[in-house]
Amino acid sequence: MNELAYSGQPLTPEEQLSFQIWMWGLLAHHTALYTMGDSTSVPQKTAEELLESLLYTLGAAESEPDRIRELLSDDPELAYNKGVRILEEKVEEGKALWEQVCLNLPDLKNQSLHDTLSSLRGLWRRYDFRYFAHQIPADIDYQLSCPVPESLQGIDYVNEYLRRLLAESRFLCRFAPDRAASVLRSSCPDYRGLLINLFEPVAVNAMGLVLTGRDPLTLAITDADREAIRAELGRPGPAMVTAARRLCEVLEVRDKEEQHCLVRLAASLPPRIQVAMECGDLSGIFLQPADN
């Protein structure tokens, strides 16, 4: 009854004070565990990190009033232990995602992708979900087409990154590696060595070909194709998003995350396309493969 009455309402000053006391006891206990009883005090930075980790583990990092009310009705240590169990499950999910990504990598070399996956391989040993659960002890350098929101922390960030990377990798695996490599060389001659995303140039070319009614698997865009694309883009409506959905049908993309990646990319393109249309040159967006 109370939950319904308070749903969505900001915390009252009394509730805020209660939660501070609730958290203070938990933080004191965890700080003592962290120092193993060797020290009664810690640097403020350490205390802040321990507090942030606890809030993240408890699912209260966003200070959501209803979540905090739920916590207040629970014993602090029990609530914390529930949070730890959830994190442990997420870590297992992350390990499985990492394996899936490694098994579904396209046959395209990229140093930052290789380094990122190597770093994530060691994450499971370094991830300290007892004291620093909100941190990400890995070097994630490879850029996704659609970055993971910075609001995500710890294992949630890593798993979302791996989910998106898996979707992008699965999409790239649909194309012949030499054709995809040709598009990438056209986009960036040193695509293997530089911090670039492999998915985006290939996906944009595939969408462009769908707009012209040609086979997207060829990835080969000619001047004539660009003229046809220009005509299609001149029509009213979200042409690129429609093209992304059509591409999913043509390539039989069933995976929701893969579909989302394509639609998100398509939705981000109009500003770039508009500038290119005004300049009368779409060759920087719909690329002619380097070998053509």
Partner 1 sequence: MQFSMEPAQAQLARTIRELTACNRMSERYGLTLAQEQMRALVQRRTEALRNTGRVEFGEGILRSLIYTFCDSPDLRPEDYEVTLAELQDLFYWFKNETQDRLSDDELLHAMRVVFDRAHGALERLVDASPEMLCRIARGENAEENSEEDEEDDDE
Collapse the DSSP code of 186 into the 3-class scheme (helix H, G, I; strand E, B; otherwise coil) and give the result.
helix
Q: Is 47 in the site for partner 1 (CB under 8 A)?
A: yes
Q: Which stretch binds partner 1 (CB under 8 A): 40-48, 158-166, 201-209, 256-264?
A: 40-48
Site string for partner 1, 49-78 (x = CB under 8 A): --x-----------x----x----------
* CB neighbour list of residue 70: distance below 8 Å, 6 or more residues apart: 3
Shortest distance (Å) from residue 1 CB to partner 1? 25
Shortest distance (Å) from residue 83 CB to partner 1? 17
Give dist(CA 267, CA 279) in Å, integer.
21
Q: Is 11 in the site for partner 1 (CB under 8 A)?
A: yes
Q: What is the DSSP secondary structure assignment for residue 217, as one 8-state letter?
A: G
Q: Is 45 in the site for partner 1 (CB under 8 A)?
A: yes
Shortest distance (Å) from residue 12 CB to partner 1? 12
Whether residue 216 contacts residue 206, with contact meaning beta carbons closer than 8 Å, is answered with yes
* CB neighbour list of residue 112: distance below 8 Å, 6 or more residues apart: 141, 142, 143, 194, 195
Interhelix angle 239-250/223-233, nearest 10 degrees? 120
Direct distance between the N- and C-terminal alpha carbons of the chain, in angstroms, rounded to an integer:
69
Q: Is 80 in the site for partner 1 (CB under 8 A)?
A: no
Rg of the chain taking only CA atoms, in angstroms: 24
Collapse the DSSP code of 69 into the 3-class scheme (helix H, G, I; strand E, B; otherwise coil) and give the result.
helix
Shortest distance (Å) from residue 119 CB to partner 1? 27
Q: Using CB under 8 A, which of 41, 149, 224, 256 touches partner 1?
A: 41
Q: Is 12 in the site for partner 1 (CB under 8 A)?
A: no
Shortest distance (Å) from residue 63 CB to partner 1? 5
Instruction: Give residues in contact with partner 1 (CB under 8 A).
Output: 11, 16, 19-21, 23-24, 27-28, 31-32, 38-47, 51, 63, 68
